[in-house]
Chain A
Amino acid sequence: MKLSTYNFLTSMAIKGVKVGYPLKLRITKKDLVESEFNPTFIERLLPKLDWSAVHAAAQQAELADDIPAEQPENIAENELLMQKLHHLLFEIDVLEGEMECPETGRVFPITDGIPNMLLNEDEV
């Protein structure tokens, strides 16, 4: 699971959960997949991402010092930060780990790179 995918995931479908976001991420095994740095792509994608989960992902991906808690102004002009974001969102592939619903503690496992977000019938 790429951390750009993580940014869109929520546990709000669970009965009684109000926001379910961001999920608490734990990474046990990750891979690095190099990809071409495309600053325009990141710049255009950023408004569609939720910075709280970008930041949460950085905490778990050992990039906590590189990604600030609040989204800086004029981020496109900061090439170093853009490169860090590129690395965080597109190059880190979480192979094993889990995500936890912040409200209920329900855990969604990540196995072989695929998050399992399936819910049981009695959870919805």
Chain B
Amino acid sequence: MHNVAAIGQQGAVAYLSYVNRLPEVQLQEQQAWHRTLPNGLVLLPDFVSVEEEAALLEAVTVDTDYAQDKLKHRVVKHFGYEFIYGSNNVDADKPLEQRIPTACDFLWQRLSCNEAVPKIIPDQLTVNEYEPGQGIPPHVDTHSAFVDPILSLSLQSDTVMDFRRGAELVHVQLPRRSLLIMSDEARYDWTHGIKPKHSDIVPTPTGSLTTQQRSKRTSLTFRRLRRAPCDCAYATLCDTQQAKAPQALDEALSTHATELEKQNVHVVYDQIAQHFSDTRHTPWPKVTEFLQSFDPHSVLLDVGCGNGKYLNCNTELFSIGCDRSLGLLDVCQGRGQRVFRCDCLQLPIRSDSIDGCICIAVIHHLASRQRRLQALRELTRVLRPGGRALVYVWAKDQCRNDRKSTYLRQNKAVNKQRTTEQAQRQQLSTELQQLTVMDNLEVSLPVHTNRTEFQQQDIYVPWKTKGEQRTTFLRYYHVFEEHELEQLLTEVDHVVLRISYYDQGNHCVIFEKRK
């Protein structure tokens, strides 16, 4: 057929052609139908009758806008407790007036007869209304928010739910009036989501595939609040375990600090120098402002100058830069800037000789408190009395006043709701299995998922190079809690804190050496 046929959905154009065999994607799709269900996943078809379905729908229909959210891709209503999408959690201290309708009570009684299902009496209900074409990105229900199991009742229409764990994918058809029970692995270690589509590809009794139109579907998700940290055995998606720093970690970090910094900071920066330099060209306005605040002919020292982007910011200053990375220093030297190589813990600079210091995004690479303190002491030592220093460190908290930092806002996939942070975390953990993570340090640190909130303070942050040779490098970071930098500064003699602020996901201080 040498023509274009308009048989695609929603005005899409389909091109027809002959093929020798099914495309690879199609085969994967088929396989995803024949995998065994994730452990702990139970599907009970015809769990409610048509009459019960109608009664349930009636019971959860709320006339007012009460506890109703129109999300980008679906309408949701909450009963018992509101599920807050910003934090992906519930506030256990703020129960809603509207409890789960009593019309739902028969469900748990019916369920309690089933031996294979853990006993539960839910106290939270989320009703999702999906129009055809709507879906929900892959996610795991926040571990610390709800206990095991989670119940999901499908009403009005069938749909297909995708369960994923790393590279594993299992399609599960959810018939109308069925109850899905997510428990154990299925609840904790697999994400689930529904693709935003108008029709689903579903298997036929003969084992091939066909399409099935969706119509409006309402799902009732019943959960019970946990009111405690999660104690599951599945760390990858567990918010509790991601947040909990091992007690011995600080000690281990101190012991291995130099080795860790060498392998996961210095070596990495030398390897990514060119790529790093290419992506670091815009000076931050508040740093520029600080540089402009000095008298002409002042002596400026940039500790950790990187590619030297601040060395020419104010050309009336006498600027010197230093860094550990030869690759980055070469960039500076090529631009005719004054630079030398050293460690920020031992600045090879005369005491009391510098009018202004900047140390931007450096100290968070030091692996112990003692070393971070030492770096501040060195900055102070080289300053002349009355000289001022500006220090920027990465903040653990990447949201301020409900506003995400640029770092988070650049998570394009999550912003467009194509995916979730949890799905990204799962993806990363798969990638890392293929990566030879240098792990002979006896310090086991979690790997941060880029463009998401930090789960704990000491972490590896991946740096992915682009181009043909795609490589992932892990950089060590200690992200700072609020006031941690000021607290460190109180232990430095002869300094006065001038100002502290939060700028684009960083904690910042300006301090002065006492005259």
Smallest Cβ distance from A65 to chain B, in angstroms?
26
Interface string of B249-283 (1 = CB under 8 A from A): 00000000010000000000000000000000000
Take A45-B297, A48-B353, A48-B355 as given contacts and tell me if A114 and B341 are in contact as well, using a CB distance cutoff of 8 Å. yes
Contacts of A45 in B (CB 8 A): 297, 299, 318
Contacts of A1 in B (CB 8 A): 338, 340
Smallest Cβ distance from B506 to chain A, in angstroms?
27
Q: Is A118 a contact partner of B341 (Cβ separation < 8 A)?
A: yes
Interface residues of A in 34-71 (CB under 8 A from B): 40-41, 44-45, 48, 50
Contacts of A12 in B (CB 8 A): 348, 350-351
B347 within 8 A of partner (CB): yes
Interface size range of chain B in the complex: 20 to 34
Smallest Cβ distance from B479 to chain A, in angstroms?
26
Interface residues of B in 324-367 (CB under 8 A from A): 324, 326, 329-330, 333, 336, 338-343, 345-351, 353-355
CB contact between A8 and one of B330, B341, B349 (< 8 Å): that residue = B349
State in angstroms the CA–CA spacing of A44 and B317 once bound together: 11
Nearest neighbor of B316 in chain A, beta-carbon distance:
A41
Q: Is B349 a contact partner of A114 (Cβ separation < 8 A)?
A: no
Contacts of A112 in B (CB 8 A): 330, 333
- By DSSP majority rule, is chain B's interface helix, strand, loop, or mixed? mixed
Q: Is A117 a contact partner of B341 (Cβ separation < 8 A)?
A: yes
Q: Is A50 a contact partner of B333 (Cβ separation < 8 A)?
A: no
Take A44-B297, A48-B355 as given contacts and tell me if A114 and B350 are in contact as well, using a CB distance cutoff of 8 Å. no
Contacts of B349 in A (CB 8 A): 8-10
Smallest Cβ distance from A95 to chain B, in angstroms?
10
Contacts of A41 in B (CB 8 A): 297, 318
17 further A-B pairs in the complex, CB-CB below 8 A; given A8-B353, A9-B349, A119-B346? A8-B320, A8-B349, A9-B340, A10-B348, A12-B350, A21-B350, A41-B318, A48-B318, A48-B353, A50-B350, A112-B333, A113-B333, A114-B329, A114-B340, A116-B340, A117-B322, A121-B258
Instruction: Sample 9 A-B pairs with CB under 8 A, ordered by A number.
Output: A4-B338, A5-B340, A12-B350, A13-B347, A21-B350, A48-B353, A114-B333, A118-B343, A124-B346
Using a CB–CB cutoff of 8 Å, the interface residues on chain B facing chain A are 258, 296-297, 299, 318, 320, 322, 324, 326, 329-330, 333, 336, 338-343, 345-351, 353-355
